[in-house]
Amino acid sequence: MNLLEYAAKELLVKEGIPVAQYGVAETPEAAFDIACKLAKRPLVVKAQIAAGGRGKGRFLNGLEGGVKICQSPEEVKQIAQRMIGSILVTAQTGEQGQLVKKVLVSESIDISSEIYLSISYSHSTASLLLMGSRAGGVEIEKIAVENPQAIVKKFVLPDYSLWDFQAREFGLDLGFRGKELVELSRILKSLYKTFVKHDASLCEINPLAMDRERKFWALDAKITIDDNALFRQKELLAYRYETIYDPQESEAIRSGVNYVGLDGQIGCMVNGAGLAMATMDILDRFGGRPANFLDVGGGADQSQVENAFRILLSNRNLRVILINIFGGIMRCDLIAEAIVEATKTHRPSIPLVIRLEGTRVKEGKIILENSSLEYLFADDLEDAARKAVQFLKK
Ligand code: ADP
Ligand code: MG
């Protein structure tokens, strides 16, 4: 899960990282009110989307840039009006862009230089990776490619906190000395603490600006939380839905179903993530495109199957459904019953291909045959994929 900038900044503030005063608004009027309360001028209005590159982005309504400097609360209101409810396209969103539902209104900082700072995983070395650069800001991706020596990297063993000497060494490598070194080390240690405390996989400040008085400010923040740790990051759960744009995906999270929306027309319901991946591969081989990845889980019960069905059917692009169940621990007769029950409430108006195999498959088949459900039975995975794709071609 990617936190929006305003939410990421809340976490940084809690750890004592200096962030320019800001507020977050869902309406132009609320943006105006925040602007009136902020003392310093000019002000900055920033579109809140779960992707970077906003500064150089473009709105579909023609507005240039998702980060705008404004001179007055009136101007903040006008800009917020044009941002909220519009789609912002950046180098990181894909051409479909992302809908802006909130804007951040912040005091502006008189920047003298921009620093890049991040902590992430390095899977290949089983350690954490600190990255920093004196050439931070909106061009950092370009610098990483064209001038990689401008980026300082340091691998540290994962530990509860960063040692002082590690933080100082990193700051020295970045060329800081004296008071600035002390302050940068403190910020880095706080960023590290944020990373560990919230089960993040990325904590990035870009830019960490230095103002004319040589004071640091985190002007942008990107924090990615490991979804598998959300069960113990309860206070972050509230942020979960604001960055998910696919209605099926957000419903799946609520129902505890593993679902990822894709752009094909074959709805897949499979038990086990590996089998779900294999099903998508084989569909692809036969020239079909899956509409989704859906793993109902190894121990799915009837309500889980019903939830999965409801989520599948709410996708209007579907033209055929493929159910692929391999009963290991899961019994095929229980699954067959669950399918029959689920289709009573959510009757599909499109063809259904079912492949069942494994524990108590005979009993499962009998249950399906004795029901009023219309479906096509497949003998194996290949047969199932071929049949599903044939429906598409009809
Ligand atoms: P993104 O990384 O998505 O483009 P940023 O928040 O980093 O968005 O903003 C882009 C640039 O806008 C920053 O590199 C910085 O130069 C400027 N900027 C952002 N926030 C402020 C602010 N509060 N005061 C002054 N300049 C800012
Ligand atoms: Mg940025």
- pTM (whole model) above 0.75: yes
Residue 393 has pLDDT above 90, yes or no: no
The two three-digit tokens of residue 353, written as one number: 């291909």
Residue 300 has pLDDT above 80, yes or no: no
The mean per-residue pLDDT over the stretch 211-216 comes to: 97
Q: How confident is the model at residue 346 (pLDDT cuts 50, 70, 90)?
A: confident
What crossing angle do the helices spanning 332-345 and 302-313 adopt, rounded to 10°? Answer: 50
The mean per-residue pLDDT over the stretch 116-125 comes to: 96
What distance in Å separates the CA atoms of residue 70 and residue 35, rounded to the nearest whole number? 10
What distance in Å separates the CA atoms of residue 378 and residue 139, rounded to the nearest whole number? 53
What is the pLDDT at residue 155?
97
Residue 246 has pLDDT above 90, yes or no: no
The mean per-residue pLDDT over the stretch 298-311 comes to: 83
**Tens digit of each residue's pLDDT (9 = 90 or more) over 227-242:** 999 999 999 988 988 8
What is the pLDDT at residue 145?
94
Q: How confident is the model at residue 255 (pLDDT cuts 50, 70, 90)?
A: confident
Q: Is the beta carbon of 35 within 6 A of some atom in ligand 1?
A: no
Asked if domains 111-237 and 247-393 share a fold, the reply is no
What is the pLDDT at residue 156?
96
Residue 394 has pLDDT above 80, yes or no: no
The one-letter amino acid code at 161 reads S
As a residue count, the chain comes to 394
The mean per-residue pLDDT over the stretch 34-56 comes to: 95
Q: How many CA atoms lie within 13 A of 128 on its CB side?
A: 22
**Tens digit of each residue's pLDDT (9 = 90 or more) over 181-195:** 999 999 999 999 999
Give the number of the ligand closest to the Cα of residue 53: 1
Residue 248 has pLDDT above 80, yes or no: yes
Q: Is the beta carbon of 108 within 6 A of some atom in ligand 1?
A: yes
* DSSP result, 83-104: HTTSEEE-TTT-TT-EE--EEE
What is the pLDDT at residue 256?
82
Q: How many helices (H) and strands (E) does the chain have?
A: 12, 19
Q: Compute the mean pLDDT over every residue in the chain, rounded to the nearest whole number.
A: 94
Please tell me the CATH superfamily of domain 21-107, with its number.
ATP-grasp fold, A domain (3.30.1490.20)
Catalytic residue among 6, 22, 116, 192: 116
Whether 204 is a known active-site residue: answer yes
What is the pLDDT at residue 249?
86
**Tens digit of each residue's pLDDT (9 = 90 or more) over 126-172:** 999 999 999 999 999 999 999 999 999 999 999 889 999 999 999 99
Of 49, 67, 71, 93, best ligand 1 pocket probe by most atoms within 8 Å of the beta carbon: 67
Residue 345: Cβ-neighbour burial (10 angstroms; 0-12, 13-18, 19+): exposed
| Paired sense of beta strands 111-122 and 200-211, if any | antiparallel
- What's the CA-to-centroid distance between 79 and ligand 1, angstroms? 16
Q: Kind and range of the H or E element at 304?
A: helix 302-313
Residue 4 gets which letter from DSSP?
A: P
Query: How far, CA to CA in Å, does 79 sit from each of 26, 239, 346?
Result: 13, 24, 45
Cα dihedral sign, 206-242-64-46: negative
What is the pLDDT at residue 327?
87
What is the pLDDT at residue 245?
73
The mean per-residue pLDDT over the stretch 33-60 comes to: 96
Lowest mean pLDDT among 15-24, 205-214, 308-317: 308-317
What distance in Å separates the CA atoms of residue 177 and residue 82, rounded to the nearest whole number? 44
Q: Is the beta carbon of 67 within 6 A of some atom in ligand 1?
A: yes
Q: Are 387 and 376 in contact (CB under 8 A)?
A: yes
The CATH number of the structural domain formed by 111-237 is: 3.30.470.20
The mean per-residue pLDDT over the stretch 359-384 comes to: 94
Q: Are 253 and 244 in contact (CB under 8 A)?
A: yes
Residue 294 has pLDDT above 90, yes or no: yes
Of 9, 59, 113, 138, best ligand 1 pocket probe by most atoms within 8 Å of the beta carbon: 138
Residue ranges per domain, the chain?
21-107, 111-237, 247-393
Whether 116 is a known active-site residue: answer yes
Q: How confident is the model at residue 42 (pLDDT cuts 50, 70, 90)?
A: very high
What is the pLDDT at residue 198?
97
**Tens digit of each residue's pLDDT (9 = 90 or more) over 272-281:** 899 999 999 9
What distance in Å separates the CA atoms of residue 116 and residue 222, rounded to the nearest whole number? 12
The angle at the Cα of 314, spanning 312 to 317, to the nearest 5 degrees, equals 85
Please tell me the CATH superfamily of domain 247-393, with its number.
Succinyl-CoA synthetase domains (3.40.50.261)
Q: Where are the beta strands (DSSP E) in the chain?
A: 22-25, 43-48, 58-59, 67-70, 87-89, 98-99, 102-107, 111-122, 127-133, 151-156, 200-211, 216-218, 221-225, 258-261, 266-270, 292-295, 320-327, 352-358, 376-378
Q: If phi over 0 gives left and psi between -120 and 50 gives alpha, with beta otherwise, what is residue 320? A: beta
